[in-house]
Amino acid sequence: MSIAVYFSSLSFLKLLKNMPGGVAQGLIWGLMALGVYITFRLLDVADLTVDGSFTTGGACTVMLILAGWPAWAALLVAVIAGVAAGFCTGMLHTKLGIPAILAGILTQFSLYSINLHIMGMAANKAVSVDKYDLVLSSRTVPSAILTGFIIALALVSFFYWYFGTEQGSALRATGSNPSMSRAQGIDVNAMKVLGLSISNGIVALSGGLMAQYQGFADINMGRGAIVIGLAAVIIGEVVGRALLGKHLNFYGTLSFTVIGGILYYAVVVVVLWLKLNSNDLKLFTAIIVAVFLSVPYLRDQSKSSFARLKKKGGSTNA
């Protein structure tokens, strides 16, 4: 297939048609990214629980809706289940001294079995928008975007308020400087458990929304969630800083985390539109995250490093 044929096979209209769906999914992943932001940026912990708790949220929501619960109540239970997952990770970390990253992996691993149990040992459970009253669905993308937007606005506002309170400040201090926090009377371990719980509660909520949007819960739906969440956080930070610079306040940072999720999914839609193999998406995402995570380090290195001295002979700036 020649290049010309390839390009002529791309329909711009098709891209436009697929974009709203990408935005809706991106919004939901953006909510997930808010959870990742809390642990990764505020608590300074890379929490891998999310891969499991995202699925837990989806599984709980679908099973309860199938059992006749209203969708909002099912989502509420999903949040509680997510909080419980985060709590487990927190306990493994603070009470049993397991490094945070390992604690998250252990919880995530165990959640695979638990999620299967929740779904009645099925790897996949469908919930049809025709039979049940769902909060949002890919069948009606515009209203899904609106619903997602309203939920995102509510959550960003909630977190903006919460992290401005005394308790929220204590949580941020814990991530910023644990020894200072202890000296100021903050129970660092309690704050870590609290932060992990809140984070995974949000992640489970977005898992529950995603399951409704796509019309099913799948045992693998959360795989790689942490990487997508990180991608959203990082893209949001870069874009937010580029657009607002010094005017980027905390509300902006939170908002841009959600926007980062949307941008990430917009890129995914473009990649799929370009007919690149969708199986390569994870590789592609990992490369993006690796590149952006390394930027601050490389920037420092460009100012002072052995490699730079070697190049310049070390005489110019001595």
Partner 1 sequence: MLKLEHLYKTFNPGTINEKIALSDLSLHLKPGDFVTVIGGNGAGKSTMLNAIAGVWAVDKGRIILDGEDITALPEHKRAKLIGRVFQDPMMGTAPNMQLEENLALALRRGQRRGLSWGVTKAEREIYRERLKSLNLGLEDRMTVKVGLLSGGQRQALTLLMAALQKPKLLLLDEHTAALDPSTAAKVLELSDKIVQENQLTAMMITHNMSDAIRHGNRLIMMNEGSIILDISGEEKKKLTKQMLMEKFAQVAGAQVDSDQVLLSK
Are the beta carbons of 204 and 60 closer than 8 angstroms? yes
Considering the complex, state which of residue 83 and residue 173 has its C-beta at the smaller distance from partner 1.
173
**CB nearer to partner 1: pick between 175 and 195:** 175
Taking the complex as a whole, the smallest distance from the CB of residue 176 to partner 1 amounts, in Å, to 4
Q: To the nearest whole angstrom, how small is the minimum distance from the Cβ of residue 120 to partner 1?
A: 39
Instruction: Please compute, for residue 271, the number of CA atoms within 13 A of its CA located in the half-sphere on the CB side.
Output: 16
Q: Which long-range contacts (CB under 8 A, 24 or more apart) does 73-79 make?
A: 74/208, 75/135, 75/205, 75/208, 75/209, 78/204, 78/205, 78/207, 78/208, 79/201, 79/202, 79/204, 79/205, 79/208
**Smaller CB separation from partner 1, 108 or 181:** 181
Q: How many residues does the chain have?
A: 318
- Are 292 and 238 spatial neighbours (Cβ–Cβ below 8 Å)? yes
Chain Cα centroid distance, residue 55: 13
Task: Considering the complex, state which of residue 6 and residue 158 has its C-beta at the smaller distance from partner 1.
Answer: 158
Report the b/e string of 208-229 with b at 16+ CB within 10 A.
bbbbbbbbbbbbebbbbbbbbb
Identify which of residues 72 and 250 has a Cβ nearer to partner 1 in the complex: 250
- The CB-of-206 to partner 1 minimum distance in angstroms stands at 24
Residue type, 51: D
DSSP one-letter code for 135: S
- Please identify, using beta-carbon distances, which residue of 143 and 167 lies nearer to partner 1: 167
Q: How far is the CB of 11 from partner 1 (least distance, A)?
A: 47
Strand partners, 218: 124
Min dist. Cβ of residue 290 to partner 1 (A):
23
Q: Tokens for 144? A: 């899904």
Position 244, amino acid: L
Q: What distance in Å separates the CA atoms of residue 52 and residue 161, rounded to the nearest whole number?
A: 28
Between 57 and 168, CB nearer to partner 1 = 168
Residue 38 per-residue DSSP state: I
Q: Are 33 and 261 within 8 A, CB to CB?
A: yes
Of 173 and 209, nearer to partner 1 (C-beta) is 173
In the complex with partner 1, which residue's Cβ is closer, 162 or 292?
A: 162
To partner 1, the closest distance from the beta carbon of 292 in angstroms equals 19
Rounded least distance, CB 156 to partner 1, Å:
18
* Token pair belonging to 201: 């509660």
The secondary structure element, H or E, covering residue 216 is strand 216-218
Q: How far is the CB of 109 from partner 1 (least distance, A)?
A: 31
Residues that bind partner 1 (CB under 8 A): 162, 164-170, 172-173, 175-177, 179-188
Least spacing, CB of residue 44 vs partner 1, in Å: 9
Write out the two tokens for 78. 């999903």
The amino acid sitting at 86 is: G
